[in-house]
Chain A
Amino acid sequence: MKKQSAIIFTSVALLALLVAPHFLKSYGVYLLTYWLVFILAAMGLNLTVGYAGQKSLGHAAFFGIGAYTVAIMMKAGFSFWLGLPAAAAICFVTGILVGFPALRVQTIYLAFATLGFNTAAWLVMRNEEQYTGGTFGINNIARPELFGLSLDGALAYYYFTLGVTIVFGLLLFGLLRSPWGKAFTALRDNPIRAESLGVDVRNYTLLSFAIGAVYAGVAGALFASLVQFIDPAPFGVGQSIMMYLMVVIGGPGYFFGPVVGAAVGVVLPEWLRFAQDWYLFVFGSAVVLLMIWLPDGLLSIPDRIRARRESREASAARAAAVTAAAANAGKGSGA
């Protein structure tokens, strides 16, 4: 039953995503594409944070590395289709390197180690002007072609991004159902037990970073081509925190958490613009309230409802048992 409803929900959502842009003007399409890019990035972070339990605050650095790799390669005359795998590969290797501190430190200390990495990466983007353009950034980044089809138009690029997001979503889904996925969650829930069961904690920790980084890198590549301009600003620590927020708001460890979380992070502020000067304030307050009410994220709502129902049923059963016992006892004494 649960599986069926999930399938129905997913297909309806997909249909909505396919049809929606036709009812929107270019701004709406742009925003939806922006959202998809951040879904992809947050999916990677969800793997690192939500499934493997590694508190990483350096995700925007991978996002930036992906964006800059593609931008620099395209400016040097290489195709986007060469830049994309290069971005993924570079992010994979950097992800492994950044994973090493995670073998030593955990929780908030790991968060700070990754935050330091993000700042360092940001400084490289800003200061290595001959490669990255420094604070002037890189402008006029072209959009790719696919089988001779130009993806220059807003709609074409939207469908392209949607396709990439779905493919990477399916890959992640497969990964999480495989023994690897189980190993990741084991790592999060109880690393000592995981190790005693033969899970190679070191390799899986590094892999959780590396695979998460690949998702961010691919998202960054799509981002560079979407905005067609990059400068270091969107890849700072603030963005890392924003991505972390997307994962936490959506529900860490829920497969569709990033979809909801990225919507909150990207679409909600736009949608709140009617509040004028106050819109970011309203957004901040909404996030605070959400965190108080739903510390496990928006997708924990069904679980909470189920848990509540179960506890109600259990207490009803208990109450029934007590009355039955009392009645029995009454009967017993009466006899």
Chain B
Amino acid sequence: MKKLILALALGALVITPAVAQQTIKIANIVELSGPGTTSGTNFKDGVMLAIKEINAAGGILGKQIESTTNDTQSNPGVAKGLTQKAIDQEVFAVFGPVFSGSIMVSMAETRRAEVPNFTGGEAASITQQGNPYVFRTSFTQATAMPKIARYITDQAKVKTLALIYVNNDFGKGGREMLMKALDKSPTKIVADISTDSGQVDFSAAVLKAKQSNADALFVYTNEEESARALRELRKQGWTKPVIGETVLTSQKVIELAGDAANGAVAHVGLTIDAPLPAIRAFRAKFEKEYKYICDHNGLKGYSGVYALKAAIEKVGKLDRKAVAKAMHTLKVKAADQPGILMDVEFDANGDLDRDSFLTEVKNGKQVITATLPPLGKKK
């Protein structure tokens, strides 16, 4: 036991680096094992790809980026410890964790140390705590759901809506936001159907939706479950609109659901399937580097690093506080900073907003039917 303590102390000493401001140190604190493995790995690979590109192009303000990566095991307790470790090592910024539960814990540490923290977490509450050091790398459900709600009410003219959602923090969070967005609209939710993560049989859920006699169905589950739901809907002869958010019309779901995916409509933020040349190019680069197709978490990590770069360049020096402050009203144009992929705007809470798309599956392909402007602009 004594030995272990000694070893631990020694280990802590060895790890502590002596390099000062010669490089910009970034810590990846991500899920590389446990249930968050896919999200964390994608996010980390996105970050690493951006760092590699930036370093090859001369770094930020002429300084190279140096990164460390640590696995949280998808465990908030470990994530908190690792964030402290990163702060002990005086990193300039922290990327991750992706899981909402983990970032909720670890961001208290980065806030105390005044270190900018970029997260892939999408739970609305992350940026509602008044933490000036936490920044999104993607839409939240709080941004996405009002957009799709506006479509449901105004364009699709849906009066009654059935909802199938997955019972985890992702599904529940989305459900809450959708309900809030639809609260004052003429659209009423007439069936509220919970399904489990990893559920195989959707016959009961679809039957309930049918019995509710709703005008349309909203499906908010993860990829595999969405495909199963679509297949079951086809099987039971559902002919009314099927609406979703991001996942429902993603490439993975189309592959799994086959013909049954045709006709599904979804709101899509910045995803790997978005039909923009910059994103197509990114997708190809990523696949060449890591030999797999990245999902939206890879995009988050990648564009997140470029957002940090833009903020540092705007401030002109390596000052964490000033950079965090600059992030809060940062507007990055893809024309100036190609790595950001799409024009983006950060608000005072650290949330971001940008264009998004309405997509439909036609003949087994995701087709853009409309471009939706950022929420703030339309008002």
Contact of A27 among B35, B74, B81, B125 (CB under 8 A): B81
Contact of B85 among A27, A267, A276 (CB under 8 A): A27
Contact A135 B12 (CB under 8 A): no
A157 interface residue per 8 A CB criterion: no
Q: CA separation between A229 and B71, bound complex, in Å? A: 19
Query: In the complex the two chains form, what is the Cα distance from A139 to B126 in whole Å?
Result: 11
Tell me the complex Cα distance, A277–B123, Å: 28
Q: Mark B160-186, 1 if CB is under 8 A from A, else 0.
A: 000000011100110000000000000
Contact mask for chain B residues 78-95; partner A; CB cutoff 8 A; 1 contact, 0 none: 001110110110000000
Q: State whether the Cβ of A20 lies closer than 8 Å to any Cβ in chain B.
A: yes
A234 and B84 CA atoms in complex are apart in Å by 20
Q: What residues of chain B lie closer than 8 Å to A260, measured between beta carbons?
A: 1
Interface size on B, residues (CB 8 A): 40
> Does A62 have its Cβ within 8 Å of any Cβ on chain B?
no
| B348 within 8 Å of A (CB atoms) | no
Task: Name A279's closest neighbour in chain B (CB-CB).
Answer: B71
Is there an interface contact between A25 and B77, defined as CB atoms closer than 8 Å? no
Verify if A285 is at the interface (C-beta below 8 Å from B).
no
Tell me whether A23 and B9 are in contact (CB under 8 A). Answer: yes
Using Cβ atoms and an 8 Å threshold, which residues of chain B touch A135?
101, 168-169, 172
A137 within 8 A of B: yes
Contacting chain B: which of A28-36, A81-89, A186-194, A196-204? A28-36
Residues of B within 8 A of A294 (CB): none
Residues of chain B within 8 A (CB-CB) of A164 are none
Overall SS of chain B's interface: helix
Q: Is the CB of A233 within 8 A of B71?
A: no
Instruction: Please give, as numbers and ranges, the residues of chain A lying within 8 Å of B149 by CB-CB distance.
Output: none
B residues in contact with A223, CB < 8 Å: 77
Are B81 and A34 in contact (CB-based, < 8 A)? yes
A231:B76 contact, CB within 8 angstroms: yes
Q: Are B2 and A26 interface neighbours, CB within 8 A?
A: no
Contact between chains at A231 and B33 (CB < 8 Å): no
B48 to chain A, nearest CB (A): 13
Kindly state the separation between the CA atoms of A276 and B71 in the bound complex, as whole angstroms.
Answer: 9
Within 8 A of B (CB), among A107-138: 127, 129, 134-137
Contacting pair A229 B76 (CB below 8 A)? yes
Contacts of B168 in A (CB 8 A): 135
Q: Which residues of A contact B69 (CB under 8 A)?
A: 276
Q: Are A267 and B108 in contact (CB under 8 A)?
A: no
* A: interface residue count bin: 35 or more
A-side contacts of B73, CB under 8 Å: 280
Query: Which listed residue (B4, B76, B82, B123) contacts A233, Cβ 8 A?
Result: B76
Q: A134–B1 contact, CB under 8 A? A: no
Query: Within 8 Å of chain A (Cβ to Cβ): is B75?
Result: yes
Whether B8 sits at the interface, judged by CB under 8 Å, is yes
Given A27-B84, A234-B77, A273-B70, A229 and B104 contact (CB-CB distance below 8 Å): yes
The interface bits of chain A over 266-308 (1 if a CB of B lies within 8 angstroms of the residue's CB, else 0) are 0110110100110110000000000000000000000000000
How many Å from the CB of A241 to the closest CB on chain B?
A: 14
Cβ-defined contact, B33 with A20, below 8 A: no
In-complex Cβ contact of B88 among A25, A139, A231 (8 A): A25
Residue B237 interfacial (CB < 8 Å):
no
Q: Let me know if A259 and B104 touch, CB within 8 A.
A: no
Contact residue among A30, A134, A234 (Cβ-Cβ distance under 8 Å from B75): A234
Q: Interface readout for B8-23 with A: 1 if CB under 8 Å, 0 if not?
A: 1101100010000000
Contacting residues, chain A, for B101 (C-beta < 8 A): 135-137, 229, 231, 233
Question: Provided the pairs A228-B108, A233-B75 are in contact, do residues A136 and B172 lie with their beta carbons within 8 angstroms?
Answer: yes
Closest chain B CB from A263 CB (angstroms):
5
B-chain residues with CB within 8 Å of residue A227 when the two chains form the complex: 76-77, 80, 105
Interface residue B305 (Cβ < 8 Å from any Cβ of A): no
**Contact in complex: A267, B8 (CB < 8 Å):** yes
Given contacts A25-B12, A227-B76, 16 further A-B contacts (CB under 8 A): A20-B5, A24-B8, A25-B84, A137-B101, A137-B104, A140-B108, A227-B80, A228-B80, A229-B76, A231-B76, A233-B101, A234-B75, A271-B4, A271-B11, A273-B70, A280-B71
Chain B residues at the A interface, C-beta cutoff of 8 Å: 1-2, 4-5, 7-9, 11-12, 16, 32-33, 35, 69-71, 73-77, 80-82, 84-85, 87-88, 100-101, 104-105, 108, 123, 125, 167-169, 172-173
Q: Sort A-B residue pairs by CB-CB distance and give the 10 closest, nearest first.
A: A27-B85, A25-B88, A135-B169, A229-B105, A27-B84, A227-B77, A26-B84, A30-B81, A231-B101, A28-B12
Q: Which positions in A face B, CB cutoff 8 Å?
A: 12-13, 16-17, 20, 23-28, 30-32, 34, 127, 129, 134-137, 139-140, 223, 226-229, 231, 233-234, 256, 259-260, 263, 267-268, 270-271, 273, 276-277, 279-280
Q: List 23 A-B contacts (CB under 8 A).
A: A20-B5, A20-B9, A24-B8, A24-B12, A25-B12, A25-B84, A27-B85, A28-B8, A30-B84, A129-B172, A135-B168, A137-B76, A226-B77, A227-B105, A229-B76, A233-B35, A233-B101, A234-B76, A234-B77, A259-B1, A263-B4, A271-B11, A279-B71
